[in-house]
């Protein structure tokens, strides 16, 4: 179960970063170079910031799942076999 979550979250990051961000840079550089409202800020800045937010959010979700589900499963398993949790 733990590795499934890890692989799913890794796939989401890889698709968002490599297919989305790097793919657009490779095939349509001008898309991220366009100004948002005629000013100095281009579309690349909020998209890059959004990727960072996505990575932080997925890390937080994984930590929350690990602390709630995985730790409880580990305690249950250790109790079943009579071991102590250190």
Instruction: Dump pLDDT digits (tens) for 32-74.
Output: 889 988 888 898 889 999 999 999 999 999 888 888 887 777 7
- Phi/psi for 10 (5° steps) reads -65, -40
Which tokens go with 71? 């730790």
7 confidence band (pLDDT: 50, 70, 90): very high
Contact 25, 32 (CB under 8 A): yes
Q: Output the average pLDDT for the chain.
A: 85
pLDDT at 37: 86
Q: Tell whether pTM > 0.75.
A: no
Q: Grade residue 83 by pLDDT with cuts at 50, 70 and 90.
A: low
């Amino acid at each position: 179960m733990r590795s499934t979550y890890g692989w799913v979250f890794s796939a989401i990051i890889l698709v968002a970063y490599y297919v989305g961000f790097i793919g657009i840079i490779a095939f349509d550089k001008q898309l991220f170079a366009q100004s948002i409202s005629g000013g100095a800020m281009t579309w690349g800045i909020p998209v890059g910031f959004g990727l960072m937010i996505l990575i932080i959010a997925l890390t937080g979700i994984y930590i929350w799942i690990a602390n709630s589900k995985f730790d409880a499963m580990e305690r249950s398993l250790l109790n079943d076999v009579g071991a102590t949790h250190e």
